[in-house]
Amino acid sequence: MDLSNENVIHKRKNGVEYLQFRRLQEYQDILNHAFSLGIDKNYRTAKANKEKLDNETYQKAIQDYQNLAQVIGSKVEHLVKTNQEHTDEVKIVKEKIKLQEPDFNLEQYNKTDGLITNQPNIMLASTNADCILLLFFDPVKKVISNVHSGWKGTLQRISVKTVKKMKEKFDCNPKDILCCICPSIRQCHFEVEKEVKDKFEEEFQELDEIGEIIQETVPNQKWHIDTIKINQIILQKEGLMAENIIDSHICSVCHSNLIHSYRVEKEGYGLNTAVIELK
C-alpha cells in the first residue's frame, strides 16, 4: 500500500518506511523530517506509566530510531524526546543534554508535550498511536517545533500555545509558519461519549463550525469529533495562513496495518514517531 497523496510522499529505504511532507521537502537542504510507518516498528522508550522498559525492548526502540534517522540523513544521538502526558507544556531546547546518545526519558522533559528549537543538529521527536502530531517550521527565522496534541492537548490549545511561544521567544511571524499534521485518528473513528463531547462544546463554543466539528452518531450517546479541523481553525485565528497548514489526510485507524492505533491495538499498543531537525 502506498499512502502518498498531494501532501505527503510514502518512502521506502533500507527496510524503513516513512512519510515526508512535500512542502517541507522544499527545504530539504536545511531540514530533516519524517513520520514513521510500519507496525513492526515501535518507538516507545518507556512504559505508559513511565517505568523503564526491559533492556531488549528499549534497545530495539533505539535501533528503530537509529534506522529512521539514518535514512533521512541524521544521527540517533541528535534526538530529543519529551515524556508526553497530554499537557499543554511546550519547552525550548537550547542544547543536547546527552552528547553520545538520545535525550530520552529525562526528568527535564517530564510532563511536556511540545518542543521548540532554533539550534541545528537537534532532532525533535514525538510519538503517537492515534493522537495528533504537529510539525512546525518557520523558514524565515529557522525555528522548528514538534508537538503532541491528543484530544486533551487540543482542548488545552497546545498548538496555539506553541505558536505564541515561537512568536515570543524567536520573533516568528505566524504568517511565515508552516504546520504539518501527521497521520492520526480522524472524525470517522474518533467517537466519544457525552462527557468528552460537552468539554469540546464548552471550550470551542466560539467556533462557527462547531456543528460540523461535533456530529451525533448515536442519539444522546455517541459523537464523532473532528480534532483536525479544530486545530486548523484555531491556528488560523492565531495568524497562520490556511495554505500553510498542511494535512496528511491519513487516518491511523483506517490504516492500522501501517500505523499504530491505540483504538485498534488496545493494550500493548505500539507507537509511531515524527521527527524534525534543522541541519
| pLDDT of amino acid 60 | 97
258 domain residue, yes or no: yes
| pLDDT of amino acid 243 | 98
- What is the tens place of the pLDDT at every residue in 109-146? 999 999 999 999 999 999 999 999 999 999 999 999 99
- What is the tens place of the pLDDT at every residue in 39-75? 999 999 998 877 899 999 999 999 999 999 999 999 9
210 domain residue, yes or no: no
67 domain residue, yes or no: yes
39 domain residue, yes or no: yes
Is the model's pLDDT at 261 over the cut of 90?
yes
Residue 255: what are its φ and ψ, rounded to 5°?
-120, 40
**CA contacts within 13 A on the Cβ side of 143:** 23
Residue ranges making up the domain that contains 171: 8-186+244-278
212 domain residue, yes or no: no
175 domain residue, yes or no: yes
80 domain residue, yes or no: yes
Mean residue pLDDT of the chain comes to 97
Q: Please give the Cα distance from 161 to 145 (Å, whole number).
A: 11
Is there a contact between 21 and 248 (Cβ–Cβ < 8 Å)? yes
State the average pLDDT over residues 225-250: 98
Is there a contact between 43 and 156 (Cβ–Cβ < 8 Å)? no
Cβ contacts of residue 144 below 8 Å, gap of 6+? 31, 116, 117, 118, 124, 135, 136, 137, 138, 276, 277, 278
- What is the tens place of the pLDDT at every residue in 220-237? 899 999 999 999 999 999
70 domain residue, yes or no: yes
Number of domains in the chain: 1
Rounded to two decimals, what is the model's pTM? Answer: 0.98
State the average pLDDT over residues 160-169: 98
Q: Residue 103 sits in a domain of what CATH number? A: 3.60.140.10
